[in-house]
Structure 1
Amino acid sequence: MKVMVLVKATEDSEAGLDPSPEFAQLLEKMGKFNEELVAAGIMLGGDGLKPSKDGKRVAFDGKSRSVIDGPFAETRELVAGYWLWEVKDMAEAVEWVKRCPNPMPGPSEIEIRPLYELSDFEEMGTPEALKRHEDLRKSLER
């Protein structure tokens, strides 16, 4: 089972990089945790995200597109970083997250979301569409 593990943004993460010794210690702890994930064969990818002031959103309404510049107001709705993990089930993902160092100086949250698998779409997709998605997935793995 693949899961996306989302580190929710806080006021601290939205403020940007912090040159303090505490931040350096946090980077060290997170690096060690990432090494554990890789050694266990769990981590497929992941990164931290720059603050929303550096981002953009594209809003869709029918054929219309509009670009919205950051920063975005609702910090609690933003993501500050992510991992992509391969785990046997949600319980294993939860256990790994519970071992994670607090990713922020203060209170924070990490959200775990399972990814759809191609089998989830078998009843509604055409054989051609399903094959196209499977071929793309295989191409990305190479």
Structure 2
Amino acid sequence: MARYMLIMRVSPEAEAGFAESDIDFSEIIEQMGRYNEELIKAGVMLAGEGLAGPEDGFVVDFDSDPPVVTDGPYTEAKELFNGFWIIDVSSKEEAKQWAQKCPLGPGVRLEVRLIGETDQFPQDNPWIQKEIQWRADLAEKAAEQARKAAGR
């Protein structure tokens, strides 16, 4: 299996078009909900989130020392990163199929990227070993929280 991130990018024109349209936002939520449900039922969805607007974020620019922090919105952005999904699928082809099913419209793109796995790095590196242990610790913590929640 391979994990892929589907990154939703929306152009300013698409945002303006949506704002001017009379599309019911609850219909969009319903379409996304059906898509998410399909991913979940297929057993491929690991995560998916929408993001708040850029006015609530900031950019850290590492072109100087110390890095410069600039509050949003980002006037230089041509497309905004509005949300993402992380899916676990058998192949790049399957990731393409899921991406093509996403209920998005004109002016919106999905950038699909393979997520690197720790086994792709030198296993004798102490930082890779720490990363593997951190992931194991997080999995155990999540399992413990699930056990506690089930016991309520």
Task: Give the shorter-chain TM-score range.
Answer: 0.7 to 0.9
Higher Rg of the two aligned structures: 2
In 2, Cα distance between equivalents of 1:47 and 1:18:
24
Show structure 1 runs of 5+ residues with no match: none
The question of whether the paired residues in 2 share the 8 Å contact of 1:16 and 1:51 is answered with no
More divergent stretch after superposition (73-82 vs 108-117): 73-82
Match of 1:52 in 2: 54
In 1, Cα distance between equivalents of 2:63 and 2:77:
24
User: Cα–Cα, structure 1 residues 16 and 64, in superposed 2: closer, same or farther, change >3 Å?
Assistant: farther
Q: 1:91 aligns with which of 90, 93, 108?
A: 93
User: Cα–Cα, structure 1 residues 75 and 97, in superposed 2: closer, same or farther, change >3 Å?
Assistant: same
The question of whether the paired residues in 1 share the 8 Å contact of 2:11 and 2:79 is answered with no
CA-CA distance at 1:66 after TM superposition: 1.7
- Cα root mean square deviation, aligned: 2.6
User: Cα–Cα, structure 1 residues 16 and 26, in superposed 2: closer, same or farther, change >3 Å?
Assistant: closer
User: How many residue pairs were aligned?
Assistant: 138
Q: Deviations over 1:44-87 (max 9, x none)?
A: 11111111122111222464122101111244343110011111
Q: In percent, how many aligned pairs have the same letter?
A: 30
Correspondence list, 1:38-117, <5 A: 38-61=40-63, 63-102=65-104, 104=105, 106-117=106-117
The question of whether the paired residues in 1 share the 8 Å contact of 2:49 and 2:85 is answered with yes
TM-score by length of 2: 0.78
The question of whether the paired residues in 1 share the 8 Å contact of 2:31 and 2:103 is answered with yes
Moved over 3 A (4+): 12-21, 74-77
In 2, Cα distance between equivalents of 1:60 and 1:126:
30
TM-score by length of 1: 0.83
CA-CA distance at 1:20 after TM superposition: 5.1
Code of the residue aligned with 2:80 in structure 1: it is L
Match of 1:134 in 2: 132
Show structure 2 runs of 5+ residues with no match: 143-152
User: Cα–Cα, structure 1 residues 83 and 17, in superposed 2: closer, same or farther, change >3 Å?
Assistant: farther
